[in-house]
Each structure stands twice: as C-alpha cells, then as structure tokens.
Structure 1
C-alpha cells in the first residue's frame, strides 16, 4: 500500500499515555501503527461529533506486515496480545478487534482519544 505521507504527530498527552502504560514493544508498535493509519484516512483527526466524527476502520494483516510487523507468519496470532493490551486500557478505543478469519483488524478510536489527538497543544 502506498501512503500519501509517512510522518505523523502525536500529542504530548498521547506520548505520556504510551510512557505510563508500559506497553510491550509489539503493543506500542500496533498503537502507533493505528494512529498512523487513522492519520492516513480522509478524515484524519476531526473533532468528534458523535457517530459522525469517527467510523470503524480496518487494516489487512498484510498491510501491518508492510509497516514492520512479523512477515514470516501466515496468521494474525502475533496481534492477539497487543490487541488485548490496548483493549484493556479504557478511553482509547471504542472498538478494536481481530476479524474472526484473522485477515484484518478493525478499530474505532474513542471520543476522548479523538479530542486528545485533535488538540496538539496538549
């Protein structure tokens, strides 16, 4: 997949969340990959307006491999622990799940997280 830009920013508050949560390397990598992929969407980080401000997104496991995840495996097992770690932290995602067939991941950031990412002064 070709991305229009490869740089993205996170707010100071999000950097603090990552630091305080003590994520494993795989969990931090997935979290940053999803922030990057959200930034690549047409809406980016709009102000959250209920259901209109955010929608469910998906990414193929193959695309995550292109972003640096394990490429020698044909399954999505490497995502189970990072997804469970991220889901366990309240306020980041309204939805984050591996598809039943294991070929893609779906996510939706929470209203609070949209607010934090929309305000880069934080």
Structure 2
C-alpha cells in the first residue's frame, strides 16, 4: 500500500504570506522550514512549539517593543526606552542615525522615527 502525504508550508515574506505545497511519496525526507516571524500570537506560538525556537510576533512589535513566542508557550517581551526600529512601508527597519546627503542636497539620518533634515550648507 502506498501512502501520499502533502506538506503545506506558510512563510511570511516581505509581501505577505507565501504558501507552498510539496507532495511527498513513500518515505522521502522533508526539510524543515524555520519561521523567524509570525503575523499574530497564535501563529507564533504554533510555529515556536513545532520548531523548538522562539518566533517574533509581528502584530505586537512596536518601535520600542519586541515580543517572542517561546516553544514552551511563554511569551517574552524585550522593551527599550528609546525607539530602536521604524516601520517604513509596512516593514520594520532598525534606526540608523548615520547622517547622509540626500538627492535634494539636505543632510538627514538614514532611518529615524521623525523626518529630520539639515541644510547641506550655505
């Protein structure tokens, strides 16, 4: 008797969830997909339990807070007193206060919480 199993994997990409189906026949080995971030608490808890590593909970992320679901079902929050990340276009990026010249001649931080620019001179 032959058994066929289908594996459905959901991975969060930059543009949203990506779903891939891979049919398996017999006793073929399946490579595990590690999930670093999940869209909500329930998804993060399931992923963390399955893979045995913490998973970031996207809908609980703020400029000053990261929450991770742990494999044992606990939730761990990392809090900072100042913003360490900025949401740009639906994606979180680390704050980078390195000053850089912009195309309009102004000088500004590469990534900051508020828009800020200095005159390029004169």
TM-score in terms of structure 2 length? 0.18
Specify the structure having the higher radius of gyration (Cα). 2
More strand by share: 2
- Greater relative contact order (Cα < 8 A, sep 6+): 1
More helix by share: 1
